[in-house]
Structure 1
Amino acid sequence: MFRDMFGTPAMRAIFSDEALVGRYLEAEAALARAEARAGVIPAAAAEAIDRASRTITIDFDRLRQETEIVGYPILPLVHQLSAAAGEAGRYVHWGATTQDIMDTATVLQLRAALDIIAADLVELGGILAKLATKYRDTPMAGRTHLQQALPVTFGYKAAVWLSSIERHRERVAQARPRVLMGQFAGAAGTLASVGEQGLEIQRLFCEELGLAQPTATWHVARDGIAEAVALLGLITGTLGKIATDVMMMSATEFGEVSEPFVPGRGASSTMPQKRNPISSELMLASAKAVRQHVATMLDGMIHDFERATGPWHLEWVSVPEAFLLTAASLASAKFMLAGLVVHERRMRENLDLTHGLIVAEAVMMAAAPKLGRQRAHDVVYEACRKAIQSGGQLADILAAESEIVTALGSIDMIRAHCDPTRYLGLSGEMVDRAIALAKSAQAKRG
C-alpha cells in the first residue's frame, strides 16, 4: 500500500532483484569481453559468455536458496551462468572475486539512479524558478525563531529553496566521477590472479562498462558509495526544510499556502473539513529516514583490513532504500510545489498582525544617522514595548516620540517607514540572481 509513498516505479525498477542480477550478469560479460581483448581468454569463450548473459533464464528460487547458504549471490549465479555458457563456462568470473562483481553492479545501479535524481532536480528547479518569478514582489512576514521578524517576499523564500536545489544538482554532477568507478581487483585487491596484465584488464573492463578506472582497489575504501548516500541526505534535508515551511504556512493560523487540491487527498476519516499537507508530511518522513541511512553508511566505511567482516553488508540495505526514499520525496515535492496554492491576501493580512512591529528595524535604522544606532534602538524598543502592552499601532506611538519625529523629519515619514511593503530589502534582487544562475546552469547543460 505504501510503496509509492516511499518509492517510485522508476527507482524500484533499478533496484529490483531482476535488475540487480542483470547488473551482475552485465559485469561478468564485460569482464569476459575485456579479458578476451587482453588475450587472457579465447574470444569465442567471451562471445559465448556474453551471449549466455543476455539469454539465460535465471532460477531465482535456486539463486535465493544458495545465496542464503553461501552468504553472497555471485557464486550461485556463476554456477548458473557457467552452465548456460557451455564449454566457455570454464572462463566465467576469471580472476575475479565476489566483491568485484557486486561492487560494479552497485555502481551501475548508482549511475542509473543518479540519472533519475539529476533529472528530478532539474525539473524541481524549474518549478521553483516559476514560483520565485511569479511571487517575486509578493510581501509576507519573514520569521525567525517562529516570530515575525522582517518582511520578505514569497518569491524570495522560493528563491532560497531554488538555490539549494541548484547546488544539489551541481553536487550530483561533481560526485559522479568519484562514485562511478568499476571494481576488478581479485581476492585481496592486488590483481595477483591475472598477473602483470591485471591493470590493463581492469582498464578494459571499466571501458566496457563506461566506468572510470580506480587509482587503487576500493574494496575497503567505501567513500564513493557513502558519498552517494550522503548526497541523498543533503537533498532530502532540503526537501524536508521546504516541507516544514509549507506545512507550517498551511496551518489554519497562518493560512498562507495550501497543497494542491485533489478530491480526497489529505482527508480525515472523521473531520470533513480537513485537508492535511500529505505531500509535505511524506517529504519530511523521507528526510528523517534517509538521515538514518547516511549515518549507517558512514559507520559502514569503517572496514577491517583488506576485506570487511560485516560493514559492507550495510550497503545492501541502505543504498536501495535511500534512493527509493529520495525519489519518492522528489516526486512529492514536484507534485506539491507545481500546484501550490498561494494565498497572497492572507500573507498581507499576517504582515499587519503586529500593528507595525515587524518594521521596527526600519524605523530604527532610519533614525540612527541622527540619533546614533544605540539611542535609536532604545527609543524604538520602548515604543515597541508600549505597542505590545496597549495593542496600538507602532506608527501612532512613534508619532508621539519627538526624538523620532525630529530624526525622521515628519510624522508622515514615520508612517512611511512603518509600511512593511517598503522594507523588503533586496528580496527581489536575490530572486533575480537565483533565477539567472539557474538559467545559466540550464544553458550549460544544453
Structure 2
Amino acid sequence: MTQSSSNPAESTYQNPLIERYSSREMATLWGPNRRFQTWRRLWIALAESEKELGIDISDTQLDQLRAFESNLNLDVAREYERIRRHDVMAHVEAYGDQCPDAKKIIHLGATSCFITDNADVILIRDALRLVARRLAATIDTMATFAAQHRALPCLGFTHLQPAQPTTIGKRCCLWTYDLVLDLLEIEHRLDTLCARSAKGTTGTQASFLQLFGGDHEKVRQLERRIAEKIGFDKTYAVTGQTYPRKVDAQLLDALSGIAQSLHKTATDIRLLANRKEIEEPIEKQQIGSSAMPYKRNPMRSERICALTRFVMSLQSSPAMTAATQWMERTLDDSANRRLVIPQAFLAIDASLVLMQNIASGFVVYPKTIEHNLAKELPYMETENIMMRAVEAGGDRQDLHERIRIHSREVAQRVNAEGKPNDMIERLKNDDAFSAVSFDTEINPLDFVGRAPEQVDEFIEQEIKPIRSRYADQESLSVEVTV
C-alpha cells in the first residue's frame, strides 16, 4: 500500500515555477497576499476619492478601511467565496466583517473589474519594473564579459559551418544586443501602461454618473484621482468592462521577445560547450549525470531553453483572448489570464536569473578556441594569398580554381583521414603561387575585422546609457535555487 504524506503541500501538485525556479521577489509579487492587499488599496482609493468629491463617507469609515488594508482575513474570504461563487464579493464581505462601520460604502459604485483589472495593471507594472531591472543587470554582466574578451579571436559560423573569424566578445555583444532591444520594448510597455480606474460595468461610467447626480466633471475627476492614488498619470481612453485585452497580448509579445533572445543565447552556449570552447559555471559538488560521473552538462542553459520555450508557447493565449472578447467583454478571459500572465513573468524572471548567473561565471578555454580556429584558418588565408598572386600577374579565375581543388583535397585529408590542414603548404608547392611570399605567420586577429572596436563602441553607445539609467536600482537576488 502506498503511504501518503501527512503534509498537504507534499500531496498536491506544486507549481515548479514557484517551488524550483523563480525568484522570491517575483513569486511574492504574484502571491495572494500582494494581490488582495492591492484590492484593499483600491477600495481605499475609491472611497477616499468619492469622499473628496462630496460623497457622504466619514473619516471613521476611511480609518477603519486603512486599519485593515494589510490585515487580511483570507480564511473568511475563502468561506464566503465557497458560498457566493464570486471572488470579489467574497472579499468585499470579508473586508466588511473587519470594518463594520465602512461595510456599506466598500465598492460603492464599482464593478468587479474596477478591482481585478486595476489590481492587474498595478501588478503588471511592478512585474515589468522587476523584469527591466533583471534585464539591465543581465545586460551589464554580459557586457562586462564581452569587454574582457573583446579581442579573443574565435571561429565564426554561418549555417553552423565555419565562416570568417570573430571574437568571443563580439559574439557576446550579439547576444547582449537582443536583450537591449528587449529592454527597450519592456520600457515602452511600462511607459504606455495605464490605469483602468473608474469606468463602470460596460465602460460608460453610468453608475458613477448616477452617484454624482449627473455631474460629468466629478466623474472625470474621480477617474483621474483614483489613477493618481494608485500611481498612474493616465487612464485608458475607452474601455468596455475591462481594460483592452490587446494590452495583455502586447505584454506577452514583449515577454516572448525576451524568451526568444535568451533561448538563442542559451542554445549557442550549449553548442560552444560541445566544442569545449566556453562553458557555464559548474559548482564543485555538482553532478552532471546519475550514470556518467564525468559529465559536465550545461544544466543552466538547458533550463533556460525549457523555460523560455514555455513562455513562447504562452504568447498565443492573450492574442486569442483579445480576439474573442465579444462586445464589451466575456468572462472566458479570466481563468486564462490567471494562468498565463503570472506564469510568463515567473518563467522569464527565472530565465534571467539563470542567464545572469551564467554570464557572471563563464568558463573560457582560449587554447581550445585557438586550436579549433587554427584548423580552419588556412582556408581563410587563401583569399589573401589569391589576391597577392593576382597582383603578381596571376589569372584570378585560374587561381580560384586551383584553390578550390586544393581545398577539396584538404577537406578529404582532414575529415576522412584525421590529418592536419596542409592548405598553405600545398599552395607553397603550387607553381601558380610561386610569386607569393609565405614567410608571414598567419595572425588570427588579421581576420576579425573591426570586432574588438565594435565591442568598445557597442558598450559606449548602448550599454553605458543602460548602466546610467539603472545605476540607483537596488540589487536583486540572483540565487539559482535548483
The two structures have a TM-score, normalised by structure 2, of: 0.83
Partner of 1:440: 465
Quick check: 1:24 aligned with 2:46?
Answer: no
Distance 1:137 1:29 in 2: 58
> Which runs of 5 or more structure 2 residues have no equivalent in the other structure?
1-13, 210-215, 415-420, 472-482
Distance 1:390 1:134 in 2: 37
CA 323–363 in structure 1, closer or farther in 2 if over 3 Å, else same: farther
Partner of 1:421: 445
Answer yes or no: is the 8 Å Cα contact 1:159–1:434 preserved in 2. Answer: yes
Partner of 2:343: 321
Shift of 1:96: 1.3
Distance 1:359 1:67 in 2: 75
Amino acid at match of 2:281: P
Distance 1:36 1:96 in 2: 15
- The structure 2 residue matched to 1:411, chosen from 432, 435, 438, is 438
Give the secondary-structure state (helix, strand or coil) at the position aligned to 2:375.
Answer: coil
Give the secondary-structure state (helix, strand or coil) at the position aligned to 1:356.
Answer: helix
Shift of 1:305: 0.7
CA 420–22 in structure 1, closer or farther in 2 if over 3 Å, else same: same
Partner of 1:394: 423
The two structures have a TM-score, normalised by structure 1, of: 0.90
CA 204–366 in structure 1, closer or farther in 2 if over 3 Å, else same: farther
Per-residue CA deviations over 1:129-174 (Å, capped at 9, x if unaligned) read 1111110111111112222112111011111122122222222222
Partner of 2:21: 6
> How do 1:126-137 residues align onto structure 2 when only pairs under 5 Å count?
126-137=140-151
Give the secondary-structure state (helix, strand or coil) at the position aligned to 2:21.
Answer: coil
Quick check: 1:34 aligned with 2:49?
Answer: yes
Shift of 1:371: 7.2
Distance 1:53 1:19 in 2: 14
Distance 1:138 1:208 in 2: 53
- With 357-366 and 6-15 compared, the bigger mean Cα shift is at 357-366
Answer yes or no: is the 8 Å Cα contact 1:266–1:277 preserved in 2. Answer: no
Answer yes or no: is the 8 Å Cα contact 2:27–2:346 preserved in 1. Answer: yes
Partner of 1:82: 96
CA 361–97 in structure 1, closer or farther in 2 if over 3 Å, else same: farther
Shift of 1:184: 2.4
> How do 1:263-342 residues align onto structure 2 when only pairs under 5 Å count?
263-302=284-323, 303-342=325-364
Amino acid at match of 1:97: T
CA 376–21 in structure 1, closer or farther in 2 if over 3 Å, else same: farther
CA 76–128 in structure 1, closer or farther in 2 if over 3 Å, else same: same
Distance 1:24 1:42 in 2: 19
Give the secondary-structure state (helix, strand or coil) at the position aligned to 2:284.
Answer: coil
Indicate the structure with greater helix content.
1
Give the secondary-structure state (helix, strand or coil) at the position aligned to 1:301.
Answer: helix
Shift of 1:66: 4.3
- The structure 2 residue matched to 1:105, chosen from 119, 133, 148, is 119
> Which runs of 5 or more structure 1 residues have no equivalent in the other structure?
none
Aligned length: 438
Answer yes or no: is the 8 Å Cα contact 2:311–2:348 preserved in 1. Answer: yes
- The structure 1 residue matched to 2:181, chosen from 163, 167, 170, is 167
Amino acid at match of 1:94: L
Answer yes or no: is the 8 Å Cα contact 2:267–2:301 preserved in 1. Answer: yes
Give the secondary-structure state (helix, strand or coil) at the position aligned to 2:197.
Answer: coil
Distance 2:431 2:219 in 1: 86
Per-residue CA deviations over 1:189-222 (Å, capped at 9, x if unaligned) read 1101011232221111101111232212262621
Shift of 1:401: 4.5
Amino acid at match of 1:348: E
Answer yes or no: is the 8 Å Cα contact 1:250–1:258 preserved in 2. Answer: yes
Partner of 1:217: 239
Partner of 2:418: none
CA RMSD of aligned residues (A): 2.6
Amino acid at match of 1:225: D
Distance 1:68 1:378 in 2: 82
Answer yes or no: is the 8 Å Cα contact 2:26–2:349 preserved in 1. Answer: yes
Shift of 1:179: 2.3
CA 50–375 in structure 1, closer or farther in 2 if over 3 Å, else same: farther
Distance 1:100 1:342 in 2: 53
